[in-house]
Chains A and B, each alone.
Chain A
Amino acid sequence: MYTQALNADESQRDQTLPAPDAAKLARFQAVIDAEDKIEPNDWMPDAYRRTLQRQISQHAHSEIIGMQPEGNWLTRAPSLKRKATLLAKIQDEAGHGLYLYSAAETLGLSREAYCDQLLSGKAKYSSIFNYPTLTWADMGAIGWLVDGAAIMNQIPLCRCSYGPYARAMIRICKEESFHQRQGYEIMVTLAHGTPAQKAMAQDALDRFWWPVLMMFGPSDKDSMHSADSTKWKIKRFSNDELRQKFIDATIPQGRYLGLTFPDPDLTFNDATGHWEHGVIDWSEFKRVLAGDGPCNRQRLKARQTAEAEGAWVRDAARAYAAKRSQRQATSQVAAE
């Protein structure tokens, strides 16, 4: 889940590269315009490749970092059913990260190289995971709101022009259909539970609402350079369009819960048929994306620790594989 509009630096494209063969470029664009797919071995402009490398790997990083906020409550899940579903959901996120790294690897960089970008702090991931999960209700809010927002972004990606990314997204969307529902079910249970549980649910909505709206990325009027992504059919809807779809879908769900959205300016516009929200604090978004959110350092550190502590295991597996193929080679020679 959890892709975010992180396409801000398409502008950093290296302008010194030789102009691509015009005929190849025209053929490439014709394939895309015909809603056909680009596959790994096909010719593609460098900028297309780099945009996808960045977007798919950031998407993958988001899945992997996104395991942490929920992992924080895994060992305290309040019932065995919730324990099992949360474990399965976090495991799906690992799986989705893996599918996405697989897709990104078809673009010529290894998973290890992408992971390095994450671990060195160079790569970005969705800002939402830099917020802490303070109560169990946050498990509900993440499933309902964060997964809900992610789905808005991800469904159009199933038709993305790059074949491996589109195929990974189809698989992910199919598997994720339970994620948002389980989150909302947690919210329903809490909202209809004891006064303490209801207060917990409201508090989670209060804390997550604005950061979730920020997940869609900057407003269209401030968003740089999504023209290429649109032309290449990587991005089919603008940040504001997706945010609007999400809000329109979510407000009635929140009202059903009997919860209040922390936005006094939230109003329904009868003329347009859409909900209108108050002003988003983009300075907070920038701060979190720049690395100064509540948990940025902890999230990265946890990932670095896991990688470092697993190194000896990966070494052992490789060493054994080398020994085994050595032995097989030796016994083959002996047999001949």
Chain B
Amino acid sequence: MTEIATPLWEVFIRNRSGLPHKHCGSVHAADATMALQAARDVYTRRGESVSLWVVPSSAIIASDPVDRDVLFEPTGSKIYRHPTFYDVPDEVGHM
């Protein structure tokens, strides 16, 4: 018999101050306090963290991979958003 599932939480770690939090995995925990505690015990055993976030996995709204072309491809042609699109005379130097 499968036991009632304990909720799943996504874990994000900040490795050093100044860096963004980065997804590193998940833990099971009944509530937010326990999730944070579990994340600390599971994902920071080698001193890799200065800050932790836990987020209920069910709270994450993800884009649909099917929409990838619709959502992300149009920006590929907007090359004028990139600095290399523009010519600056060599004499002017770095800009």
A314 and B26 in contact, given A91-B45, A98-B42 (Cβ under 8 angstroms)? no
Complex alpha-carbon distance, A111 and B7, angstroms: 10
Q: Which residues of A contact B45 (CB under 8 A)?
A: 88, 91-92, 95, 175
Complex alpha-carbon distance, A311 and B1, angstroms: 12
- Interface class of chain B by DSSP: loop
Q: Which residues of A contact B30 (CB under 8 A)?
A: 314, 317-318, 320-321
A113 at the interface (CB under 8 A from B): yes
Q: Which residues of A contact B25 (CB under 8 A)?
A: 98-99, 102, 168, 171
B27 touches which one: A98, A110, A113, A175 (CB < 8 A)? A98
Beta-carbon contacts under 8 Å, A161-184 to B: 168, 171, 175
Q: Are B4 and A318 in contact (CB under 8 A)?
A: yes
* A36-44, A55-63, A280-288 - the one binding chain B: A36-44
Q: Are A314 and B6 in contact (CB under 8 A)?
A: yes
Q: Are A321 and B65 in contact (CB under 8 A)?
A: no
Using CB atoms, name the residue of chain B closest to A116: B2
Q: Are B6 and A175 in contact (CB under 8 A)?
A: no
Beta-carbon contacts under 8 Å, B35-77 to A: 42, 45-46, 62, 64-66
B60 to A: closest C-beta gap in Å: 11
Q: Are B8 and A318 in contact (CB under 8 A)?
A: no
Beta-carbon contacts under 8 Å, A53-92 to B: 88, 91-92
Q: Are B42 and A95 in contact (CB under 8 A)?
A: yes
A102 and B26 in contact, given A39-B65, A41-B65, A324-B31 (Cβ under 8 angstroms)? yes
Q: Are B3 and A317 in contact (CB under 8 A)?
A: no
Q: Which residues of B contact A105 (CB under 8 A)?
A: 8, 26
Complex alpha-carbon distance, A314 and B4, angstroms: 10
Complex alpha-carbon distance, A98 and B42, angstroms: 8
B21 at the interface (CB under 8 A from A): no
Using CB atoms, name the residue of chain B closest to A168: B25
Indicate the size class of the contact surface on chain B: 20 to 34
Q: Which residues of B contact A42 (CB under 8 A)?
A: 65
Q: Are B6 and A318 in contact (CB under 8 A)?
A: yes
Complex alpha-carbon distance, A314 and B46, angstroms: 27
Q: Are B65 and A311 in contact (CB under 8 A)?
A: no
Q: Which residues of A contact B28 (CB under 8 A)?
A: 111
Q: Are A112 and B31 in contact (CB under 8 A)?
A: no
Complex alpha-carbon distance, A311 and B4, angstroms: 10
Using CB atoms, name the residue of chain A closest to B35: A321
Using CB atoms, name the residue of chain A closest to B1: A116
Complex alpha-carbon distance, A299 and B84, angstroms: 62
Q: Which residues of A contact B34 (CB under 8 A)?
A: 317, 321
Using CB atoms, name the residue of chain B closest to A24: B66
Q: Point out which of B8, B30, B62 has the most chain A C-beta atoms below 10 A from its C-beta.
A: B30
B52 to A: closest C-beta gap in Å: 15
Binding site for B on A (CB under 8 A): 39, 41-43, 88, 91-92, 95, 98-99, 102, 105, 110-113, 116, 168, 171, 175, 311, 314, 317-318, 320-321, 324-325
List 17 A-B pairs, Cβ < 8 Å. Answer: A41-B62, A43-B65, A95-B45, A99-B25, A105-B8, A110-B5, A110-B8, A111-B5, A111-B28, A112-B6, A113-B2, A116-B1, A171-B25, A175-B46, A314-B6, A318-B4, A324-B31
Binding site for A on B (CB under 8 A): 1-6, 8, 24-31, 34, 42, 45-46, 62, 64-66
Which 3 pairs, one residue from A and one from B, show the smallest C-beta to C-beta distance? A317-B30, A321-B31, A321-B30
Given contacts A95-B45, A112-B6, A317-B6, 20 further A-B contacts (CB under 8 A): A41-B62, A43-B65, A98-B27, A102-B25, A102-B26, A102-B27, A105-B26, A110-B2, A112-B2, A116-B1, A116-B2, A168-B25, A171-B24, A175-B45, A314-B3, A317-B29, A321-B31, A321-B34, A324-B31, A325-B31
